């Protein structure tokens, strides 16, 4: 690794300037400029794994992650930043300690990539680009072989992840998190730790995969198809949302909901994960009888 400490305001400005780059808003580029914070984020990442960093940017966090990783895979969408990372980690790339993947993290099949590199499981971390936090988290949660994930996210986004049934912020992401993971809030990071300064504060969060999903259902795909159908039209009652969804057209939804004592006049977003589980299992029974 080049002897250059990236988590500092001067290094960030110098490297951007020298390479004719600018912080791009549309890719959520707010670079960490505080090495103590970068170090304390890295300290939360479990050691000795295949470690994916999403959006490594100029490498401020990557430098502290490197000594903790078995293999550090850097997933960066910006070709200019990926070229800089190649230079910063030239030695580690040559010795295969660092793998630089230039592309969109939403399109990477992490399970398949890890398997190709001989790892049964892995860790994902990063200072996430705020504009796609929710799609990224949904994509990661759908992968089967991560053990832990540690992310810096916008503080409000972190707060929304804790929403419970009935809350206006409660939705598919909350249910996916509850099903797959335990979520911990680690610490806040002030806007002054970034260049350019974002208009929001950030929070470091950790997802730990549950040893088994929070509920047991007949068919996980059917569970999430039911959740999607129920939440797709949030102004409609549960029974109307399910009827209109096109999921299982022949099913008598009022009867099905009555059989599990769920009031079809409720809104989908008032149902708990357990109630969605009951709904999808009742549907499974009907589809298989």
Taking the complex as a whole, how short is the minimal distance between the CB of residue 264 and ligand SAM, in angstroms?
39
Beta bridge partners of 151: 126, 205
| Largest Cα span, the chain | 68
Asked if 11 is part of the footprint of ligand SAM (rule: CB under 6 A), the reply reads: no
Identify the burial level of 82 via C-beta atoms within 10 angstroms of its C-beta, where 0-12 means exposed, 13-18 middle and 19 or more buried. middle
Beta bridge partners of 184: 206
Contact with ligand SAM (CB under 6 A) among 11, 15, 16, 31:
31
Asked if 127 is part of the footprint of ligand SAM (rule: CB under 6 A), the reply reads: yes
Can you tell me the distance from the alpha carbon of 170 to that of 255, in angstroms, rounded to the nearest whole number? 26
Stretch that binds ligand SAM, among 102-110, 180-188, 242-250, 276-284 (CB under 6 A): 102-110
Taking the complex as a whole, how short is the minimal distance between the CB of residue 152 and ligand SAM, in angstroms?
7
Asked if 65 is part of the footprint of ligand SAM (rule: CB under 6 A), the reply reads: no
Binding mask 140-179 for ligand SAM (x = CB under 6 A): ----------------------------------------
Taking the complex as a whole, how short is the minimal distance between the CB of residue 105 and ligand SAM, in angstroms?
4
Give the pairing of strands 202-209 and 146-154. Answer: antiparallel
Cis omega before residue 196 (within 30°)? yes
Cα-based distances in Å from 87 to 3, 9, 71, 104: 12, 20, 17, 20
DSSP 227-247: HHHHHHSTTSBHHHHHHHH-S
Asked if 129 is part of the footprint of ligand SAM (rule: CB under 6 A), the reply reads: yes
Taking the complex as a whole, how short is the minimal distance between the CB of residue 30 and ligand SAM, in angstroms?
5
Asked if 61 is part of the footprint of ligand SAM (rule: CB under 6 A), the reply reads: yes
Contact with ligand SAM (CB under 6 A) among 105, 176, 273, 279:
105
Taking the complex as a whole, how short is the minimal distance between the CB of residue 279 and ligand SAM, in angstroms?
33
Asked if 184 and 206 touch (Cβ cutoff 8 Å), the reply is yes
Asked if 268 is part of the footprint of ligand SAM (rule: CB under 6 A), the reply reads: no
Binding site for ligand SAM (CB under 6 A): 27-32, 54-58, 60-61, 75-78, 81, 104-106, 127, 129, 132
């Amino acid at each position: 690794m080049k002897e250059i400490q990236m988590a500092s305001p001067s290094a960030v400005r110098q490297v951007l300037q020298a390479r004719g780059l600018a912080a791009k808003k549309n890719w959520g580029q707010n670079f960490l400029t505080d090495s103590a914070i970068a170090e304390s984020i890295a300290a939360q990442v479990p050691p000795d794994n295949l470690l994916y960093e999403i959006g490594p940017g100029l490498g401020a966090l990557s430098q502290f992650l490197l000594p903790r990783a078995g293999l550090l895979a850097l997933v960066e969408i910006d070709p200019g930043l990926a070229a800089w990372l190649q230079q910063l980690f030239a030695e580690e790339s040559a010795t295969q300690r660092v793998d630089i993947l230039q592309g969109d993290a939403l399109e990477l099949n992490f399970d398949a990539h890890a398997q190709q590199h001989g790892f049964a499981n892995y860790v994902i971390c990063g200072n996430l680009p705020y504009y796609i936090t929710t799609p990224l988290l949904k994509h990661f949660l759908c992968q089967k072989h991560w053990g832990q994930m540690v992310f810096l996210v916008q503080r409000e986004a972190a707060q929304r992840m804790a929403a419970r049934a009935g809350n206006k912020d409660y939705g598919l992401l909350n249910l996916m998190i509850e099903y797959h993971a335990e979520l911990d809030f680690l610490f806040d990071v002030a806007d002054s730790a970034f260049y350019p300064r974002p208009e929001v504060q950030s929070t470091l969060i950790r997802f730990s995969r549950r040893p088994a999903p929070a509920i047991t259902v007949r068919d996980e795909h059917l569970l999430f198809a039911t959740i999607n159908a129920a939440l797709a039209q949030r102004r409609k009652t549960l029974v109307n949302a399910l009827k209109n969804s096109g999921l299982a057209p022949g099913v008598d939804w009022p009867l099905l909901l009555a059989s599990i004592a769920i009031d079809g006049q409720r809104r989908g977003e008032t149902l708990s994960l357990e109630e969605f589980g009951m709904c999808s299992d009742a549907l499974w029974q009907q589809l298989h009888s």
